Amino acid sequence: MIWKLILAVLAGLAIGAVLGALVWRWMARRQERARVAARHHEVMNSLEVLSRALLQGQVESSEASIRMAVLLDCLPADVAPKVDLAAIHQLAEACDDFDRGEARQRLTPAERNRQDLARLELEAQQNPAVLAAAGRLQEVLGQWRARLSG
């Protein structure tokens, strides 16, 4: 009789342990999804601010494109609806040739001026396409936000 009681207690403990592990795993996944959704929300907010600032002429298109390209890469590839943002990525990639940060500070004034002129020319050439892409981005951000949070 005592062995049956011990066996029942052990079976109950085993079942409880399995159920506890399942609940813990479910909660961990839920927290991870919430963390990812919060990160996507932050990215969307940053994209909205940057694209609006670009459209209003408050930021140079090269700077905005570099930042937006990085943020867009943080979003899942299956974000929908799809929209053509290639101009943003193209300008960001073209700006890779220019020195930034400490490397820019080490340039001579003449080299810095040469890069600035080249960047301004590049911006002038690509600005209409980048502004159009920023406008398209503004149009879909609400839909992206709804799909990624729900």
Q: Residues 65-85: pLDDT tens digits?
A: 999 999 999 888 888 788 899
3-class DSSP assignment, residue 1: coil
pTM, rounded to two decimals:
0.76
Taking alpha carbons only, the member of 116, 101, 138 closest to residue 62 is: 116
Work out how many domains the chain is built from and give that number: 1
105-121 pLDDT per residue, tens: 898 999 999 999 999 99
Q: Residue 72: its pLDDT value, please? A: 93
121-133 pLDDT per residue, tens: 999 999 999 999 9
30-51 pLDDT per residue, tens: 888 888 888 888 999 999 999 9
Give one DSSP letter per residue of 37-90, joined into a string. HHHHHHHHHHHHHHHHHHHTTSS-HHHHHHHHHHHHHTS-TT-SS----HHHHH
- Structure token digits, residue 8: 């029942």
Q: For residue 11, what are the domain limits? A: 2-149
Q: Residue 79: its pLDDT value, please? A: 81
